[in-house]
Amino acid sequence: MKIIKYKFKESNNKIKYLINLIDFTGHPLESIIAKNKEERNILASNLATKHKIKNVLHNSGFSIIT
């Protein structure tokens, strides 16, 4: 399993961050939305500790949320 962090824009152009716990097949098991980079890093770290995961990746592009 791994954790991937994404950034996305809401309809009001506000940037938020999505943290996904991904299983071995690539499907998200748990998703958390963070308001800023600091909260994103804290939540990703907590999720990694909770599930004993070492792979925390950041997708530098934008995700499309509709």
Per the structure block, which two tokens stand in for 40?
């994103």
Q: 29-51: string of b/e by CB count within 10 Å (b at 16+)?
A: eeebebeeeeebbebbeebbeee
Record the pTM. Answer: 0.81
- Return the pLDDT at 13: 84
Confidence class of residue 17 from pLDDT cuts 50, 70 and 90?
very high
Task: Assess contact for 5 and 56: CB atoms under 8 A.
Answer: yes
Per the structure block, which two tokens stand in for 42?
């804290």
